[in-house]
């Protein structure tokens, strides 16, 4: 089985995050592997482990698109257990919106499928920076793959993938044939941590760096030029400041109601 | 020519408030049409007319609901072409965003999600990075696809109701070819409380409730609000994951958010910090939630919450 897992290098949410530059893009210093992609990686590893792992010829390819630092998301994925890594890196990619991103990623996945077809593309439910959830669906559209997004369970047997998807008013069981694209929620599993052996072993694993020329995509199709949306302005919201804090002296519930009444919230 | 097309998916016997909001925004952009999927009840058709929809497009196929999003996007793309609309408005649900995503690729149209306001010239307003930035964005393409969050605008009926014309749109052949099929569906029990994503008041409980959501539910009911939860509470199995507020749960932006027994981790804040007024009740004065609360109470929730509920009931008589 050949699985491609999309891993994004995103600003660590534990720190303040900033929008900078002429194109209003996110500052990527202090970035990490997006936590939500760890669930996709874990799902991929469980699938190949159930099939004899990499020794049986199964592959989990961690794919990241982004500036040079993005290779760290690939490296972390290799430490966790991915069998190889791919980093799509090209200056022309800067400022790509979801449409341009999905165009480039679709080209990489086609490229990776030239020797042996990709069976499954796995992604997190959203990136923790853009948070649009657009890329998985757009990638599925571009690759003409069935999408099973927001999966909270995943089962692949006999060339068929079955997943569970929880909506607001109902839960669905969804089914498609391989190849397919699956995005997973944080409910699907408990991601593992890299262990010492994994960290050492990762150094020997292959990371392929690809440019746009390698995947046959023109510079004008991606980046700000190829994007279909433009962020015109970005203003930092004044940080919320603490209001009145009181300590309960037996009447805090009543004081709360007085506050709500004064705010016309009752 | 239609300026704005609103996608309304399976509303059942009545339109949701969020759909009325979309129709209100659409009218501010110009002539409004609706791409409708599902059974069209008379009351719904009348409401669409009252909100100024001049045309209701309906799909030629009845099996769109048997598949996940892809065939709906194919139908909607055909409806955009039939209507000539320049802006497509969808709800900001998981399905809505993914239909928008696929539509964007089909029409080579820019997609903007999580929109909270749309100007007459199509500029979309949104907040990003967990509410820390307000941005404006625009589609560069001929068609703009926007998914709009609930509670973005007060719904307003059109000055004069119209009688919409109904037009059938041919769903493209092969629309279901590469789509995941829904093989089983189980309905979740309805709570009778307002929908979490749309509610004007949300009362959320965290690990501090220690398995007992009773006081949270009672306060929510006294305030006519919805119940929410932190991930610690949903992971513990005290309440279903559907109620989780935060990065991997729902993003809410109510008039009032009451955070009870929740520490205020960044992933929880991501889902609630654009609320208009935040109240926090927590026994630990060091909890980060107090950094963003408009009104904070350091105290035991099991004393404070029932007292507040009683007082509200008393005042409301
Ligand atoms: C990838 C990822 C995604 C996540 N997504 C989400 C998300 O969507 N939503 C979310 O909420 N979290 C999310 N989390 C988890 C988040 O990091 C926190 O762990 C979680 O929000 C903590 O929940 P809590 O505040 O209820 O629990 P705790 O942090 O344990 O806080 C409990 C609080 O209750 C208070 N308390 C205890 N007893 C009482 C009492 N009797 N009276 C008053 N106060 C009391 C304590 O002082 C404490 O502050 C995510 C984490 C990850 C890694």
Per-residue pLDDT reduced to its tens digit, A174-187: 999 999 999 999 99
pLDDT band at A29 (very low <50, low <70, confident <90, very high): low
Instruction: Determine which residue's CA is closest to atom 48 belonging to ligand 1.
Output: B263
Residue B62 makes CB contacts below 8 A (sequence gap 6+) with none
Cα B217 to averaged position of ligand 1 atoms, centre (Å): 18
Q: Does the beta-carbon distance from B293 to A172 stay under 8 Å?
A: no
**Residue B15 half-sphere exposure toward CB, CA atoms < 13 A:** 28
Q: How far is the CA of B231 from the centre of ligand 1 (A)?
A: 6
pLDDT in tens, A47-59: 999 999 999 999 9
Rounded to the nearest 10 degrees, the angle between the axes of helix A134-143 and helix A98-112 is 50
Determine how many CB atoms are found less than 10 A away from the CB of residue B190: 8
Whole-angstrom distance, CA of residue B67 vs CA of residue B47? 28
Q: What is the 3-state secondary structure (H, E, C) of B290-301?
A: HHCCCEEEECCH
B285 Cα: distance to centroid of ligand 1 (angstroms) = 15
Q: What CA–CA distance (Å, rounded) separates A199 from A190?
A: 19
Q: Judged by CB atoms within 8 Å, which residues 220-239 of B form the interface with A?
A: 223
Mean pLDDT calculated for residue range A218-240: 92
Quote the pTM value. 0.90
In this prediction, residue A28 carries a pLDDT of 65
Q: What is the pLDDT of residues A92-142, one digit of tens each?
A: 999 999 999 999 999 999 999 999 999 999 999 987 776 778 999 999 999
* Per-residue confidence (pLDDT) for residue A16, from 0 to 100: 73
* Tokens 């960290």, residue located: A199
Average pLDDT score, chain A: 93
Q: How does pLDDT run across B149-200, given as a tens digit for each residue?
A: 988 899 999 999 999 999 999 999 999 999 999 999 999 888 789 989 889 9
Residues of chain B in contact with residue A263, where contact means CB-CB under 8 angstroms, are 256, 277
Confidence (pLDDT) at B1: 61
| pLDDT of A240 | 80
Residue bearing the CA closest to ligand 1, atom 4 = B267
Task: Report the sign of the C-alpha dihedral through residues B174, B178, B180, B181, in that order.
Answer: positive
> Cα(A67)–Cα(A93) distance, rounded to whole angstroms?
8
Retrieve residue B125's tokens.
């307003």
CB < 8 Å to A239, chain B:
132
A34: chain B residues, CB-CB within 8 Å:
none
With a cut of 50, which residues of chain B have pLDDT below it? none
- Determine whether the interchain pair A170/B285 forms a contact, defined as Cβ–Cβ distance below 8 Å: no
Read off φ and ψ for residue A211, nearest 5 degrees.
-110, 175
Q: What percent of chain A has pLDDT over 90?
A: 81
Question: Nearest 5 degrees, angle CA B121-CA B197-CA B150?
Answer: 15
With cut-offs at 50, 70 and 90, classify the pLDDT of residue A24: confident
Judge: B188–A169 Cβ closer than 8 Å, yes or no: yes
pLDDT value of position A239: 78
Counted across chains A and B, CB pairs separated by less than 8 A come out at 266
A:56-85 residues touching chain B, CB 8 A cutoff: none
């Amino acid at each position: 089985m050949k699985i491609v897992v999309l891993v994004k290098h995103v600003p660590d949410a534990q720190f303040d995050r900033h929008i900078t530059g002429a194109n209003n893009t996110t500052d990527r210093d202090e970035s990490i592997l997006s936590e939500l992609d760890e669930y996709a990686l874990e799902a991929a590893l469980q699938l190949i482990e159930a099939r004899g792992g990499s020794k049986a010829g199964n592959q989990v390819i961690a794919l990241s698109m982004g500036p040079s630092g993005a290779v760290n998301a690939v490296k972390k994925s290799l430490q966790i257990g991915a069998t190889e890594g791919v980093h799509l890196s090209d200056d022309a990619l800067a400022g790509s919106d979801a449409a341009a991103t999905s165009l480039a990623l679709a080209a990489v996945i086609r490229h990776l499928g030239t020797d042996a077809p990709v069976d499954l593309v796995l992604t997190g439910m959203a990136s923790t920076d853009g948070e649009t959830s657009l890329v998985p669906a757009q990638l599925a559209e571009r690759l003409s793959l069935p999408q099973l997004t927001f999966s909270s369970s995943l089962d692949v047997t006999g060339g068929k993938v079955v997943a569970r998807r929880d909506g607001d008013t109902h839960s669905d069981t969804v089914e498609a044939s391989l190849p397919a694209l699956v995005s997973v929620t944080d409910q699907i599993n408990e991601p593992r941590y890299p262990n010492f052996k994994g960290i050492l072993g990762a150094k020997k694993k292959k990371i392929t760096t690809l440019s746009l020329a390698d995947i046959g995509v023109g510079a004008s199709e991606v980046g700000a030029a190829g994007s279909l949306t433009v962020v015109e302005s970005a203003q930092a919201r004044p940080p919320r400041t603490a209001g009145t804090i009181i300590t309960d002296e037996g009447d805090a519930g009543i004081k709360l109601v007085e506050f709500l009444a004064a705010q016309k919230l009752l | 020519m239609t300026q704005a097309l609103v996608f309304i998916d399976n509303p059942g016997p009545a339109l949701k408030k969020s759909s009325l909001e979309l129709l209100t925004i659409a009218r501010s952009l110009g002539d409004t049409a609706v791409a409708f999927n599902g059974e069209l009840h008379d009351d719904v058709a009348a409401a669409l007319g009252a909100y100024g929809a001049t045309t209701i497009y309906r799909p030629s196929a009845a099996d769109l609901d048997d598949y996940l999003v892809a065939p709906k996007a194919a139908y909607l793309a055909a409806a955009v072409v039939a209507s000539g609309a320049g802006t497509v408005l969808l709800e900001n649900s998981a399905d809505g965003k993914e239909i928008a995503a696929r539509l964007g690729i089909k029409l080579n149209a820019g997609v903007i999600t999580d929109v909270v306001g749309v100007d007459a010239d199509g500029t979309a307003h949104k907040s990003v990075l967990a509410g820390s930035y307000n941005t404006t964005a625009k589609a560069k393409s001929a068609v703009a696809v926007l998914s709009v969050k609930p509670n973005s605008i007060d719904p307003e009926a059109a000055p004069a109701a119209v009688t919409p014309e109904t037009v059938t749109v041919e769903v493209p052949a092969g629309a279901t070819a590469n789509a995941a099929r829904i093989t089983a569906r189980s309905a979740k029990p309805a709570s009778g409380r307002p929908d979490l994503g749309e509610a004007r008041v949300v009362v959320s409980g965290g690990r501090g409730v220690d398995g007992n959501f009773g006081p949270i539910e009672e306060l929510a009911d006294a305030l006519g609000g919805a119940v929410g939860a932190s991930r610690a509470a949903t992971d513990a199995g005290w309440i279903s994951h559907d109620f989780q507020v935060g990065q991997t749960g729902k993003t809410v932006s109510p008039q009032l958010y009451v955070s009870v027994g929740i520490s205020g981790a960044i992933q929880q804040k991501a889902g609630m910090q654009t609320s208009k007024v935040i109240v926090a009740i927590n026994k630990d004065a060091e909890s980060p939630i107090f950094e963003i609360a408009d009104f904070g109470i350091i105290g035991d929730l099991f004393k404070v919450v029932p007292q507040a509920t009683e007082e509200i009931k008393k005042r409301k008589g």
